[in-house]
Amino acid sequence: MRIGILIVAGLAVMLSTPFASGRGEAGTPVDDQRLLHAESEPDQWMMVGRDYSEKRFSPLAQINRENVRRLGLAWFFATGSRRGLEATPLVVDGNLYTTNTWSRVYALDAASGELLWSYDPQVPRRWGAYACCDVVNRGVAAWQGKIYLGTLDGRLIALDAATGRPLWSVLTVPQDRPYTITAAPRVVHGKVIIGNGGAEYPGVRGYISAYDANDGHLVWRFYTVPGPEPGAQAPVMVNAARTWSGLGWQAAGGGGTVWSDLAYDPELNLIYFGTGNPSPWNSRARNPDGKDNLFTASIVALDADTGVYRWHFQTTPDDAWDYDAGQNLVLADLDLNAKRRRVVMQANKNGFFYVLDRETGQFLSGRAFVDQNWAKGLDPKTGRPIVAGLPYAANGKFVSPSPLGGHNWQPMAFNPQTGLVYIPANEAPFLYQAEGSFPLSPSHWYTGLNLAAESAPTGIDPLLLRAVIERGVAGQLIAWDPIEQKTGWRVRQPSPWNGGVLTTAAGLVFQGTADGRFVAYDAQDGKLLWQQHLPNGIIAAPMTYTIGGRQHVAVMMGWGGSFGLAAGEAAKVKERDYAGYLLVYALDGRASLPSSRPTSRSIPGLPKIVAGNQALADGNRLYNQHCAVCHGANAISSSALPDLRYMAPETHRRFEQIVRSGTLSKRGMVGFADVLSTEEVQDIHAYLIKRAEITRAAERQPRWWAQTKVFLYGLIAPLLYRLQALRFS
């Protein structure tokens, strides 16, 4: 009798969690065949882009246009992190795998959210100074009972998918250079493919590597820019070397890093990836003769088995704008001019949407999907941009798109049913101005760009600053027709830097936003069908899976990343101290997040300082050049990194030691003695104290007066913004 009950109970468990044993539908773990035919397993999400074509299109349709309004939180998982969360989770045979900041991994029960195991690679916190764009991670890969992780400090680690135990670990980058990994690895035919980032720092030369997925030995490596090693003699590299001029780029490493997603075509056996900006950004400091600088800012195709070069298409020759081509590449078959074409598509940072033949790299079409003024257009035959002039004039120039990109790493999605690509787009013109001299220091940005050019006057009223900035930046979700190269529909959003996109066979588009909403749109016309307000912003892309017969939609909530760190007053995150969560939704979900407790902050006692206008102006310039990329523009932090206006008295006392000697480097605040003198640090300190005094005065003003000012500033902000744009046009 008891045995009978046990058998029945066991059967019930097996039926309700069909893949709980870690085996797939065919009774096999994730292998090449399952990855190659991912579209035939709609309930799973086995790769960050769902399948090798990276469409982020799910065949699931249980949640549809009619019932999506019943969507609710089924469960959630607290990451404890207050920085950017960028991962797309995987769901494999009942388990969900996702990552946190600092390259930490979690395996959760995909039905209940119960934590099965976690793994922390213990990334040294000082490595955070090498991460241009926050200590983020975009996810893992799964294959043959293993989970593959790239760590911020450049290791590639294989974990046992059942226990989280590390099986092997290899170092993929030199440890004396500021390389980082934030991308999810991909597994293709038993090889783990991984690149790296760092082209904002000196000494970084981009490459992509393939490691044996069983034991981690290096199978092949492809450098994206020329260099001294024997491989440089390959004809393709000899030709690439002819596209560089001067010597400045060699100290800088050349850049061209492969820091984001890649796609794979099994029929052609080609992998496709985009490369980052050449280094430094300032083109004439790097490239006096204005040559193309291959293979930076390019889309490149390699043979997946050997890493041998097959073709490239350079989106931005002689890039001077930080127009990395790292945005996700989507493979599709489109009918162009009555002919079926195998294409690769990208919504590039430079604002143009490209359709290329993925067999040959031939340019098929391209058109701007956002406002842009850096190019007069594309050559209709070659796709080469007709550049409207270099941006580094002495006075500077307002250019669109900015280094934020018309589109950045937040993945777009393609729905074959609507024929539309859904692009999370940014609008944020940027003032490009050359920096006279820039120090070569491994833990500091090395761009040749005056990052302080746009800084606000030290004494500006914070409310006016917000009004002007809000006038200048925004976001859009654009549904783009890649055949006609035109907009299908678009939704305006109050902030740039919104989340990646998921689309489904039920005609839905899911996206999280910078201002803390998770939204479902109608894929056909952009109609808002459902949304939930959240205490934190979203930059990650959602995914969907079925377990126990129930479709779920999952997304990481946690605003941050590059714009998240630097945005300052432009940030729309509602509760700055609210931690990041994995949110998992299903129809009739009833869970609710812990209520937010907004912490009220006040500025503690400030040291008295005597600083002249020149010292304050110098402090303003130096802060916005060296500190703002992490602590926020104009001394306003939008993330969990300390807002320096609110420093404790003890921090004020130790300010110079912290900034120059790096006494907090174990917590990620490295020393700046190699780039800042004692006097310069004092100027920055004086600037911060002044900004704190102004903020304190603003916080103490009566509410009615603040509201009146917000109204008046709203009236004059467009004019101020226009004047600013005219001054630098």
Residues that bind Ca ion (CB under 5 A): 276-277, 322, 324
3-state secondary structure of 13: helix
- Which residues, listed in sequence order, are joined to residue 367 by a DSSP beta bridge? 353
Q: Are 636 and 628 in contact (CB under 8 A)?
A: no
> CA-CA distances (angstroms) from residue 712 to 264, 575, 695?
54, 26, 19
CB burial of residue 213 (10 Å; 0-12, 13-18, 19+): buried
Question: What is the closest distance, in whole angstroms, from the C-beta atom of residue 562 to Ca ion in the complex?
Answer: 9
Diameter over CA atoms, the chain: 89
Question: What is the closest distance, in whole angstroms, from the C-beta atom of residue 386 to Ca ion in the complex?
Answer: 23
- Which residues, listed in sequence order, are joined to residue 142 by a DSSP beta bridge? 147
CB burial of residue 367 (10 Å; 0-12, 13-18, 19+): middle
- Taking the least distance from each CB to Ca ion, the nearer of 279 and 546 is 279
Q: Which of 691, 47, 107, 688 has its CA nearest to residue 331?
A: 47
- Taking the least distance from each CB to Ca ion, the nearer of 299 and 664 is 299
Neighbours of 685 (CB within 10 A): 22
- Taking the least distance from each CB to Ca ion, the nearer of 53 and 350 is 350
Question: What is the closest distance, in whole angstroms, from the C-beta atom of residue 141 to Ca ion in the complex?
Answer: 24
- Taking the least distance from each CB to Ca ion, the nearer of 322 and 680 is 322
Q: Which of 368, 352, 362 has its CA nearest to residue 382?
A: 362
Please, where are the H alpha helices in 19-147? 32-36
Catalytic residues: 322
Question: What is the closest distance, in whole angstroms, from the C-beta atom of residue 612 to Ca ion in the complex?
Answer: 37
Question: What is the closest distance, in whole angstroms, from the C-beta atom of residue 432 to Ca ion in the complex?
Answer: 14
Contacts (Cβ under 8 Å, ≥6 apart) of 342: 265, 267, 268, 331, 333, 357, 358, 359
Question: What is the closest distance, in whole angstroms, from the C-beta atom of residue 223 to Ca ion in the complex?
Answer: 17
Question: What is the closest distance, in whole angstroms, from the C-beta atom of residue 266 to Ca ion in the complex?
Answer: 30
3-state secondary structure of 397: strand
- Taking the least distance from each CB to Ca ion, the nearer of 276 and 385 is 276
- Which residues, listed in sequence order, are joined to residue 493 by a DSSP beta bridge? 475
**End-to-end alpha carbon distance in the chain:** 85
Beta strands in 59-143 (DSSP E): 71-78, 90-92, 95-99, 105-109, 115-119, 141-143
The residue with tokens 């761009």 is: 447
* Spacing of C-alpha 155 from chain mean position: 19
- Taking the least distance from each CB to Ca ion, the nearer of 95 and 282 is 282
3-state secondary structure of 656: helix
DSSP string, 238-283: HHHHTT--SSHHHHHT-B----S-EEEETTTTEEEEE---BSSSSH
Residue 635, token pair as written in the block: 């001394």
Question: What is the closest distance, in whole angstroms, from the C-beta atom of residue 276 to Ca ion in the complex?
Answer: 5
- Taking the least distance from each CB to Ca ion, the nearer of 226 and 276 is 276
**CA–CA gap between residue 411 and residue 276 (Å, rounded):** 16
- Taking the least distance from each CB to Ca ion, the nearer of 261 and 618 is 261
Question: What is the closest distance, in whole angstroms, from the C-beta atom of residue 298 to Ca ion in the complex?
Answer: 13
- Taking the least distance from each CB to Ca ion, the nearer of 133 and 304 is 133
